Amino acid sequence: MTGPSRNDILGCVLAGGLSRRMGGGDKALLKLGGAPMLTRVIGRLEPQVSALVLNANGDADRFADYGLPVIADTVGDFAGPLAGVLAGMRHAQAMDEPISHVATAASDTPFFPLDLVERFAEVVTTPDTIVLATSGGNRHPVFGLWPVALADDLETWLKESDTFKVLAWVHRHRLATVDFDLVRHGERSFDPFFNANTPDDMIEAEYFLREQKIS
């Protein structure tokens, strides 16, 4: 099987978390390098997909400046990343253009690879293959390529399972992974899936932007 093309893939930025370690609110809207972190995430994912949506709960108007569809979770109350994946799948099913997959990225991970989706698509071998990113020996289940055909199965899982853990559902299906190299900058190695969960993480992100000139 040939993997999906860019035109077959909807991008979905997952911004539905509670941001407890940042003190609440939308950490994606915190400034990084003088602009909201979400601006960087959108700028990296949008060129890789046919269309882009933002998964977030609550008042959608807070993201109005981005001009993107804002889709809320369709099941549960803050049921985790899988609820956002499902919301992306359901949106894809309602689009006029045929979409076979949804590519997801976290809104607090501003340096993820610019060839993320292309490399995901290269390892798809069956229509139901799920693809996840890895780096430095770690798996990143929020960064994935998800077959829209699994939407009903995922919805049933979220409604009936006693866990919302991503990998618990993923391991019920065919899984492929793509490993991305750490980036060497001077004497330090940088994980492209670095995510900003705390105020200290934001300081670290500013360091990499300023001193190491991460693109």
Task: Summarize the annotated binding site for GTP as residue ranges.
Answer: 14-16, 27, 55, 73, 108
Inter-residue contact 131 to 144 (CB < 8 Å): yes
CA-based end-to-end distance of the chain: 33
Question: Distance (Å, rounded) from C-alpha 85 to C-alpha 101?
Answer: 10
| 106, containing H or E segment | strand 101-106
Question: Distance (Å, rounded) from C-alpha 102 to C-alpha 117?
Answer: 10
3-state secondary structure of 149: helix
Question: Distance (Å, rounded) from C-alpha 34 to C-alpha 121?
Answer: 33
Task: Summarize the annotated binding site as residue ranges.
Answer: 14-16, 27, 55, 73, 108
* Closest alpha carbon to 68 in 56, 84, 80: 56
DSSP state of 3: P
Task: Summarize the annotated binding site for Mg(2+) as residue ranges.
Answer: 108
